[in-house]
Amino acid sequence: MATRIVETSDSRQTEALGAELAAALKPGDIVLVRGELGAGKTTLVRGAARALGVGDVVTSPTFSIGHRYQGSDVTVSHLDLYRLAGLAEEEPALLDDYLGPDAIAFVEWPEQAGSELRDACLLVTLAHEGADHRRIEVRELGEHAEGKPPAGQPDDGSAEGVRRSTVPRVSR
């Protein structure tokens, strides 16, 4: 499986990585987003949502489980399962409004969902590296990883293994 390691030094770079990843996504894709509180999960999702044409303010859905945004050509779902102990005790259709063939879904705290998200195409893990620096690991999952480079990377024939890169500074 291909893995890419990216180091960012501010929120704009984390958003830029989200935008880069979004360019390789298609309706029906699910992206799992892991990281401790304050690691930049929502910042990454904000960058992806903007790249997908979302004009609304993208905020953490911690207290509502999820938000749905209309992008240019796709619905963008942003879920935060932090407050759930698991899906076994929840309404069986809890995630149905957010997942599906017409949406691209980003799921924070995916471990709470158990096997419900087994069809995810990417796992993005964010870690604090001091100050505003983040270490972000992007890993393609399942059939999406078979012989393909990590999302957002050109195929240079070396898809297996780990790639390290930094996101160029984005000016506003």
Query: What CATH number does residue 113 fall under?
Result: 3.40.50.300
The percentage of the chain sitting over the pLDDT mark of 70, rounded to a whole number, equals 76
Residues with Cβ within 8 Å of 98's Cβ and at least 6 positions away in sequence, in order, are 66, 68, 77, 79, 105
Q: Which domain holds residue 126?
A: 2-166
Domain-embedded: residue 158: yes
Domain-embedded: residue 171: no
Of the candidates 150, 170, 172, the one whose C-alpha atom is nearest the C-alpha of residue 160 is: 150
Instruction: Note the pLDDT of residue 146.
Output: 53
| Tens-digit pLDDT profile for residues 50-88 | 999 999 999 988 778 899 999 999 999 999 888 766 665
Name which of 48-57, 124-133, 161-170 the model is least confident about.
Answer: 161-170
pTM of the model: 0.81
| Tens-digit pLDDT profile for residues 6-44 | 999 999 999 999 999 999 999 999 999 999 988 999 999
